[in-house]
Amino acid sequence: MTGLAFELRNVSRRFAIRRQLSEHLSSWFGYNQPKAVHALSDVSLKVSSGEVLGIVGESGCGKSTLARIMAGLVKPSEGEVYFEGQRVDELGERERVNAMLPAQLVFQNPFSSLNPRHRIRTILSQAALLHDLTQRNHVDEFVSSLLQSVGLPPSVSTRFAHEFSGGQLQRISLARSLSVSPRVLICDEPVSALDVSVQAQILNLLLELQTRQNLTYIIISHDLSVIRHLSDRVAVMYLGRVVEEGPAAALFENPQHPYTQALVRESLESAATRRLFKPIEGEIPSPINLPSGCGFHPRCPVSIDRCRLERPELRSFGPGRKVACHLVEADHSQQVTNGVK
C-alpha cells in the first residue's frame, strides 16, 4: 500500500449526440438544447496501489466510460485525473497514452479484442517492441514467458485467434496487457463473455497474477459475485455516479444505499434455493434525460420528497464507507433497512 495508483477528482464525461439538420436549425432559433449523454457525473475515486477496486453497476451506469478514462483512452469533459501522482487529463493524446501505458485495459469480449489477422506472436510482441521493452532478437523468449505466465504453452504463438476457445483467448488477451509491464490492470467485465466452468479459471489466474506481479486491479462488472470474490473495496455506480463505496465485506454484508440493497438482494446465487423474487420496479432511466435530484428516486422503494428535489452528496459513513442517500444521512441507515425489508 504505497501511494496512490489513481486519483479521480470530480470527473465528468458527456458525449454529444450527433444531431440531425432539423435539430441544428431549431437550436439556432433557441428551441432546444443540444443533447448529450451524461455517461459520468462528478466521480471522485482513489485507488491505492496494490489494491483491488471493484466497480459494480448496470448498463448505462458509466462503468465502461470510467474504465476508458482510467486507461487514457477517453478524456474527461471535466475534472482531474492523476495517475501515480501525475496529472494526465491535461496531456495531449499521444503523451496521455504513453504516460498511462502502465495502466492497461483488459476487454470483455476476447473474440473481438484480438486482431484476427495477426499471429499470437505478433499480437503479444508488437507493443513491447514499439516501447523498447524487448528487442527484436529476444522476441521468442519474450513471447514464451508471457504465454507461460498465463498458463499457455509457447507453441501457440504461431497460431491465429480463431483457433482458440474463449477462455484461451482471454488468457492471450491478458498476456497482451502484461506485455507492456503494467502496474494497473483495468478489467472491463473480464469473465462475463465466458462459460461458467471457464470463468473460475480466469478468476484464479487474475488472483495469481496479482500476487505474483503485485498489480493493482480495477475490476468492472455487473456480476456481484465476481466483484465480491476479487475486490478489497467496492464502488457501486448508478446513472454515472458513485452511490456507495466501501470495503467489500462490509458493503456486501450491510449495504446502505437502497440501490445497493436491491442489487445484493437480487443477485442470484446458486447456493440459494427456490425463492420468490421481490424486484424493484421501473426501468433504468436514460442517461440523456437524467431524473432530478437523486438519480434513483423514481425506482426507490423508500424515496421521500427531498430525494426528488435535492441530489444527495456522497458522504462518509462509518469506517472507510461513503454513501449518497438522504435517508442514510438522516438516521444512520435504520430507516432505510426497515423500509425495504
Which residue, 30 or 271, has its beta carbon nearer to another protein? 271
Quote the least distance from Cβ 289 to another protein, whole Å.
Answer: 13
Which residue, 10 or 98, has its beta carbon nearer to another protein? 98
Which residue, 2 or 270, has its beta carbon nearer to another protein? 270
- Return the ∠ at Cα 157 (arms to 170 and 216), rounded to 5°: 40
C-alpha span between 309 and 8 (Å, rounded): 27
Query: What residue type is assigned to position 7 of the chain?
Result: E
Which residue, 95 or 140, has its beta carbon nearer to another protein? 95
Quote the least distance from Cβ 261 to another protein, whole Å.
Answer: 11
Quote the least distance from Cβ 60 to another protein, whole Å.
Answer: 9
Cell numbers of 169, please?
483467448
Cell 440459494, residue?
A: 272
Which DSSP helix (H) or strand (E) runs through 224?
Answer: helix 224-230
User: 70, 186 in Cβ contact below 8 A?
Assistant: yes
Q: Name the nearest CA neighbour of 202 among 174, 181, 165, 238.
A: 174
Quote the least distance from Cβ 97 to another protein, whole Å.
Answer: 4
Which residue, 1 or 272, has its beta carbon nearer to another protein? 272
Which residue, 144 or 225, has its beta carbon nearer to another protein? 225
Q: Name the nearest CA neighbour of 325 among 239, 310, 62.
A: 310
Quote the least distance from Cβ 196 to another protein, whole Å.
Answer: 6
Quote the least distance from Cβ 323 to another protein, whole Å.
Answer: 18
User: 286, 305 in Cβ contact below 8 A?
Assistant: no
- Return the ∠ at Cα 97 (arms to 92 and 102), rounded to 5°: 140
